[in-house]
Each structure stands twice: as C-alpha cells, then as structure tokens.
Structure 1
Amino acid sequence: MKTYYVYIIECSDKTFYTGITSNLTERLESHEKGKYKDSYTSKRRPLELVYYCEFTDPNIAIETEKQIKKWSQDKKRALIAGDFDELPNLARKKF
C-alpha cells in the first residue's frame, strides 16, 4: 500500500509551505536544493520540516493539503505545535 504525506515546511522568512508527496525524503531534498528555481521555497531557504502526516488514500491527502493551505499562519502554528483544541477557535471568523 502506497503512503502519501502532507507536509509543512517553515521557510527562512517564517512563512509556511504546505505540500503533498509520496516520497517525503526525496521531496524535501528537492526543496532544499532549490531544484525548481521558480518555486515558493527556492528563494526562502534554508527550510525546516515542521509537520507531516501520513495517508493511504491519495484523495484524502489532497483534500487535507488543500484545507491546510487555506489556513492562517496562526492555525498552522497550532497544528504544528499539536494544539489541536485550539484549531476550532482559530477557524472562527472575527467580526
């Protein structure tokens, strides 16, 4: 059974990049080496893997990646820190 990873990298400018891959080690190396010169992470190195989760269903992995990409920096920080109880509070709109 193939494994898929949704991951978050913290860039040198303290922003986050969220991605999906079936080979986490290889993908992280390509980010670190700046393999794709026009990519978001290429000009923001060095990079640090700060979070990843595993999936066996690629559709759920893709949906999870898309969901996390829409989150605020604060909500991503809570996920990375394992503050799962905070996630619903950070999802609420502030008026």
Structure 2
Amino acid sequence: MPWTYILRCSDGSYYVGSTVDLDRRLSEHSSDDLGPVYTRRRRPVELAWSGWYERIDDAYWFEKQVQGWSRKKREALIRGEWDALPLLAKRPAARRRILDGQDRLSD
C-alpha cells in the first residue's frame, strides 16, 4: 500500500516521505543503520500524519508537493484543516489582503 507521511522530529522539524510499507519505513527511521541521515540526527521521531494512495506514483507526487509547502501549511494538513490549505498556498501579502477583506465583510 503506497503512503505519504510526515514525521515530527525531536527538534520540531518535519520530514516528509513516501513508501509502500509504512510500518517498515517508520522502523527504519528509528534504526541506527537505516533511514535518512536527517531523521537519524533528530530522533526520536513520531508519525504526525499519513495518507494512503491507490498508486505509488500518486504517493510520491504528493510527497514532493508537501516537501515544497511551508511549515504552516504542513501543520494545517496534520491537523486535518483541508479548507485552510488553499489560503496557505498564497503569498503572505495575498493572504493578508484576503483576510482583511473577510474582516471587512464581517463588520
């Protein structure tokens, strides 16, 4: 089963990956010999989010997409705040304009 996942590292950073065997991959991240150097140096790590996909190329594509996301956008995904993701994709100045417009509408 293909997965995309986000790990929360001990230093508060996030690691995004994809795999066909999530349990095995999580074990590798905790191993002294296996897994990427990034997480080896930031252990312990914990699974913050995971999503299952029908095809491995879909999981890999989403991994690459999330790797380019801001911290705030990754944290919205972890919290399951799907509606917030489009707004968080905007540049900060554009986000402020949108939010300022919403504040004026609610007055």
Q: Same fold (TM over 0.5)?
A: yes
Q: Larger Cα Rg: Structure 1 or Structure 2?
A: 2
Unaligned 5+ residue runs, structure 2? 94-107
Which one has the bigger strand percentage?
1
TM-score by length of 1: 0.91
TM-score by length of 2: 0.81
Unaligned 5+ residue runs, structure 1? none
Higher mean alpha-carbon deviation, 33-42 vs 66-75, is at 33-42
Relative to structure 1, is the Cα distance of residues 20 and 38 closer, same or farther in structure 2, using a 3 angstrom cutoff? closer
CA contact (8 A) 2:20 2:56 kept: no
Equivalent pairs counted in the alignment come to 93
CA contact (8 A) 2:28 2:35 kept: no
Taking CA–CA contacts closer than 8 Å with sequence separation of 6 or more, which of the two structures ends up with the larger relative contact order? 1
Which one has the bigger helix percentage?
2
- Rounded to whole Å, the distance in 2 between the matches of 1:52 and 1:4 is 10
- Rounded to whole Å, the distance in 2 between the matches of 1:37 and 1:52 is 17
Give the Å deviation of 1:34: 3.2
Residue in structure 1 matched with residue 14 of structure 2 by the alignment: 16
Higher mean alpha-carbon deviation, 37-46 vs 72-81, is at 37-46
Give 4+ residue runs of structure 1 displaced > 4 Å after superposition. none
User: 65, 69, 72: which is aligned to 2:70?
Assistant: 72
